[in-house]
Amino acid sequence: MQLLKRLLIVFILISSIFVALAPAWAFQNEPKTFRGIKWGTNISELSDMIFHAQQGESKVYFREKDQLIFGDADLLHIWYFFSNDRLYSVVINFEQWSNFNSLKTELFEIYGLGHSPNRFKEEYRWVGSDVVIFFDYNELREEGKLSYYYLPIMKENLNSEKQKAEKSNDDL
């Protein structure tokens, strides 16, 4: 039953992403890589990754000599997420309004204006055919996040969860 709830939540989240962002379906310079690493690359091909944690089915790594900068912005962390040992997400954490503004300028220059679902919040989305990017900043906490998601592997994960749930229901 718990698996079904998780599957439903994941399905709703991914569905809402597609529905909410349909008008912004394509963006310029959709990234095929992140810092030279192609989406879907196997962890065994990346000797400079250091294991950090496991979150559910995902393994989280950081890069040994990663530059914690993006344009003119200083970053706190860059986390690389792998599913079945393949890169499918990168999450970048940062602090301070000045870093948010630097990142926003850089992202708008690279990818074009992002879709802002709420004009009262500093959050932006870019949705491409293979990659979705989320960028937001919490002014009260003075922290933000920039997240990249590779959709083909996300879809595989969703289908896998769905099959597990169906099998679990069949076993009842």
Query: How many residues in total does the chain contain?
Result: 172
List residues bridging with 37 in a β-sheet: 34
- Distance between CA 70 and CA 53 in Å, rounded? 24
* pLDDT reported for residue 5: 54
Spatial CA neighbour of 107 closest among 135, 142, 149: 135
- Distance between CA 88 and CA 150 in Å, rounded? 5
Low-confidence spans in the chain with pLDDT less than 50: 1, 3-4, 7-8, 19, 21-24
List residues bridging with 135 in a β-sheet: 124, 146
* pLDDT reported for residue 31: 96
Cα separations in angstroms, 148 against 34, 120, 166 = 9, 23, 29
